[in-house]
Each structure stands twice: as C-alpha cells, then as structure tokens.
Amino acid sequence: MYKAILFDLDGTLTESGEGITKSVQYALEKLGKPEPDLGKLRVFVGPPLLEQFMKYAEMDEETARQAVVYYRERYSVTGLYENRPYPGIEEMLKELRDKGYLLAVSSSKPEHFVLKVLDYFGLTGYFNEIVGSELDGGRTKKSEVIEETLRRLHLENHREQVLMVGDKEHDVYGAREAGLACVAVAYGYGTMDELTQSRPLKIVDSVDELRTFFA
C-alpha cells in the first residue's frame, strides 16, 4: 500500500512545453545556434538543462552553462508563465489529499522556479514537500531529487510505500535508482517508445486514468 506519491512537474502536473522550448530557442539564438522549429526542442522538457544543452547542441560544459544563463533570462520573466496545469490535475490532487496520501513534487527544475509555478497556479497547498534542483547546478539528477524528497518526508526507510509519477524515462530510471516504483504518464513529453523501454510499473494515457489507478 502506497503512503506517499511523488510527482514530476513539467509534463506531469503542468503543460509547460511552450515556455521551456521558447526559452531554449532564445538561448540557442544568443549563442549563434538558431533553431526555428520549436517541435525539435521538446526534448528539453524534463531532463536537466545543462546536460540537454550539451547533448542536443553538442556544447562543451562552459558553453552549456552560458546557455542555461541565457535560458533563465527569458524563462524567469516570461517562460515560467507560458504554462498551465493539465485538466483534472487539481481535482486529482484534492482527492489524493482527502484520501490521506502524502504528496510531494520531485522535479529537476530549480526549486525556486518549481515553487513559483505551483504558487502561480494555486497548487502549493496540496503538497507536503516541494523539491527541485539547486540554482547553482546541484541536485539535478532525478535520483538525487528523489532522495532529498524522501529525506524531507522521513521515508528513507520506507521506500516500498512511495511511488513516483512522471512523464519521461528520466523519471522511471531515477525512481528505480532510488528504489521506487514509477507510474509513467503518456500525455506528457516522453515518447511511448522511451516509456515502454524504461519499463515503469504502469503507463497511463490520461489524468483520468491516473486518478483511476489511485482509486
């Protein structure tokens, strides 16, 4: 029986692709690597930014760190709010709280921005803990974020009672590395191929199906 549920943010609770991809596009433009097709930049939703800039644009670490700086120039002012909760998310969170679950957010996004997003949409009060990465680049691996969440919830020794919910393979692998099962949502930014290959406990296609899983 699960006692606590950890949620990823981008692609799981909120549809944040527009703000993220436009901010990545802004950073690439400033670095002389323009990408007019926002669709190609969807791969930036979810994974740690530094790692993804290095992988996608073949940047060295120093250049990728500058890309993150440029990204935040736009994201912190505009991109943060080009975003919305998926329909049914708030109702689901209320149901889960009413049933007595401990709820937390475990995101690779800097905690500073996670709190801003949740505050903006009035969702902060549903969560016992809200954990993200550090602005200086620390705690970006999903497993590290999950470990910090477990520590704050005092559930380090009760991992069998904790479930992760996310939309990317990073969520599934990070959960597994931390000794947790993971339910993957197919309505986010991960491809069905990557989710299938990462072998989560279950793949759900909609918020309604996720609610039914916990019913």
Which residues are catalytically annotated? 8
d(CA 153, CA 156): 8
**Coil vs helix vs strand at 130:** strand
103 strand-pairing partners: 5
In this structure, what DSSP letter does residue 39 have? G
Burial 33-67 (b: 16+ CB within 10 A, else e): eebeeeeebbbbbbbbbbebbbebbebeeeebeeb
Residue 91, SS3?
helix
Distance (Å, rounded) from C-alpha 193 to C-alpha 168?
Answer: 10
Using DSSP's 3-state secondary structure scheme, residue 12 falls into coil
144's tokens: 């590290």
Cα–Cα distance measured from residue 210 to residue 73, given in angstroms and rounded to the nearest whole number: 35
